[in-house]
Amino acid sequence: MLTKDEAQKLAEKILSYSKFPECEISIDGNEDAFVRFANNGLTTSGLVRQQQISISSTKDRKTGNTSFNQIDDKSLRDAVARSEEMAEIALPNEEHVPSLPPQHYPEIDRLDPATASARSPELIVHARNVIDAARSKSLVAAGFVQRSARASAIASKTGLFGYSASADSSLTATVRTAAGDGSGWASQPAIRFAEMDSSGVARRAVEKCLASRGAKRIEPGKYTVVMEPAAVAALVGYFGFALNARAAEEGRSFLSKDGGGTRVGEKMFPDIINLRSDPTITSIPARPWGFDRLPVQAVTWIDAGVVTSLRYDRFWAMQKGRQPSPPDANMILDGQPNAIDDLIAATDRGLLITHFWYIRFVNPKTMQLTGLTRDGLLLIENGKITGPVMNLRFNESPVRLLQNAKMLGRPERVQEDEVSDDLLVPPLQATEFTFSSVSDAV
């Protein structure tokens, strides 16, 4: 693990080779251990170390960028020279902002040494738990257990320096019937690997698999839905793209007002919707700095249904004569003190969604997305789950989802592929969620 002291010395060495007025660097290193399993046996496992250094050199608003992974003296010197050569022939960037002076970054402790050093034997224990649980019911398990240790540093010629080290781990598990007529999924992220509850993950995946067998076809259309947190995260995560002030002011976002201006200050959502970022929440990963190197801070984006903030990067803030927004460390949708069973009990007729698959934009302006349910779609009638139904494709916007939200549960961090790992979201009940077709996929 690259220590703070080592990172600082490496950064100083790189900056000492710089001849340009501005030089910004970032250093990233990681070591990942992982175990993959399928068909009730291990398939591929590995231990991988990687490192990357990125350098941006700027003179007269002309910037050259280079990234590389070799850190001997000659490679470092050559890389700085290469970035400067590129800058010499680059065009002036009218959106360039000068390097920041030194910043005070918050201390964010997400480095559990045992998680950072776990290896195959410790990971395999959890694969075995899932496989054993599946086998005991004559089912078939596939999954992935991983841990990652990361160190990141940023520095610039102005004296700015930041360092962050973290570790994280996760388990995802899919359990299917041998005949392929049922599939269940469950997952767990764990900042501390010792807290990995693979037996619990296995139990949920097995239960969902058994409950999903013999799915009946229902007609697509608008349904009340109860979404488990993984499903909510997959949709709410898109707000990360959408809160951009520039896109809103330029008419390219759902937050653009027709005819000009933005919808900041409008009550677009129900009272129960509060969307915010907070680096002090220790149960989710956070980095001390954001995209443009400003320190992260707590930000409220939607307060009791009212849009309160948009993200102003340093360039756009300068254009608008205002302070840039502090970058967001994570994304939190606040909840209510309900269990998911309370949400189900409060549903006359609806669908319980385990998670989604292959979500893509249909219209970025309205945030309309398409994707499919997967690994357990269950019909709710009169407050009770009455049986499985075939998977459905949706065409819907997370904006409309939150506008139609009626009830929330307790927020939790989720582990889901293609979803950012820094979301904290509750289960959610919403009306009028639009499904457009039936899928034969199990």
Partner 1 sequence: MISRRALLESSAALFATRLFGSSTDTPSKRPSPELQNLADVALHQAKKLGATYADIRINRYQDQRVGVRLSKDLTTGKDLESPFVNGETSFGFGVRVIADGSWGFAASPLVNREEIARIAGEAVTVARASAKLQNRPVELAPVPVYQDRWTSPFRRNPFDVPMAEKLELLRASVQEIKKDPRVFSGNGFLLFHSEDKFFASSEGSAIQQFIVQTVGDISAHAVDRKKGLSKSRNHRPPPLETGYEYVAAMNFGENAPRIREEVLEQLAAPPVQPGKKDLVLLPSHLCLTIHESLGHSTELDRALGYEANFAGTSFLTPDKMGKMRIGSELVTVYGDRTHPEGLSTVGYDDDGVKATRFTIVDKGIFAHFQTIRDQAHLIGEKESRGCCYADSWASIPFQRIPNVWLAPGPDSVTPEDLIASVEDGILIDGTGSWSIDQQRYNFQFGGDAFWEIKGGKKGGMLSRVAYQSRTPDFWQACDGIAGPAYWQQYGLFNDGKGQPEQINAMSHGSAPARFRQINVLLTD
Q: Segment 240-269, which members bind partner 1 (CB under 8 A)?
A: 249-252, 256, 258-260
Position among 157, 336, 357, 385 found at the interface with partner 1 (CB under 8 A): 357
Does residue 29 bind partner 1 (CB under 8 A)? yes
Q: Tell me how far the alpha carbon of residue 219 is from its chain's centroid.
A: 32
Which one among 341, 361, 410, 421 touches partner 1, defined by CB under 8 A?
A: 361
Shortest reach from residue 307's CB to partner 1, in Å: 16
The rounded distance, in Å, linking the Cα atoms of 231 and 412 is: 12
Q: Which helix (H) or strand (E) holds 207?
A: helix 198-211
By beta-carbon proximity to partner 1, the closer residue of 120 and 431 is 120
Structure tokens of 8? 């600082």
Number of H helices, E strands in the chain: 11, 19
Contact flag: residue 46 with partner 1 (CB under 8 A): yes
For 203, phi then psi, to 5°, come to -60, -45
**Dihedral (Cα; 353, 421, 198, 196), 10-degree rounding:** -140
Could you tell me if 266 and 307 are in contact, meaning their C-beta atoms sit under 8 angstroms apart? yes
Q: Which is nearer to partner 1, 41 or 102 (CB)?
A: 41
140 lines the binding site for partner 1 (CB under 8 A): yes
219 touches partner 1 (CB under 8 A) = no
The sign one gets for the Cα dihedral 105, 107, 108, 110 is: positive
Tell me the two tokens of residue 179: 């005949």
Which tokens is 440 given? 């034969």
Closer CB to partner 1, residue 228 or residue 249? Answer: 249
Q: Which residues pair with 153 in a beta bridge?
A: 27, 163
Please give the residues from 141 up to 180 whose contact with partner 1 meets the rule CB under 8 A.
142-144, 146, 149, 151, 172-174, 176, 180
First vs last Cα of the chain: how many Å apart?
42
The two three-digit tokens of residue 74, written as one number: 């000659």
Cα separation, 325 vs 277, in Å, equals 12
> Toward partner 1, which CB reaches closer, 69 or 280?
69
Site string for partner 1, 401-440 (x = CB under 8 A): ----------------x------------------xxxxx
* Sole binder of partner 1 in the list 374, 376, 388, 404 (CB under 8 A): 374
How far, in whole angstroms, is CA 3 from its chain's centroid?
26
Stretch that binds partner 1, among 14-22, 116-124, 190-198, 322-330 (CB under 8 A): 116-124
Identify which of residues 121 and 265 has a Cβ nearer to partner 1 in the complex: 121
48 binds partner 1 (CB under 8 A): yes
Gap between the Cα atoms of 285 and 423, Å rounded: 9
* Cβ distance to partner 1 smaller for residue 93 or 300: 93
Task: Kindly indicate which of the ranges 67-75, 196-204, 331-339, 421-429 contains the residues binding partner 1, using the contact rule CB under 8 A.
Answer: 67-75
Among 12, 16, 21, 73, binds partner 1 (CB under 8 A): 73
397 binds partner 1 (CB under 8 A): yes
Closest CA to 104 of 276, 297, 310: 297
Q: At its nearest, how many Å lie between partner 1 and the CB of residue 406?
A: 23
Can you read off the two tokens belonging to residue 419? 């979803």
Contact by Cβ (8 Å): 311, 328 = yes
With binding defined as CB under 8 A, does residue 95 bind partner 1? Answer: yes
From candidates 52, 99, 336, 431, binder to partner 1 by CB under 8 A: 52
Of the pair 174, 429, the CB lying nearest partner 1 is at 174
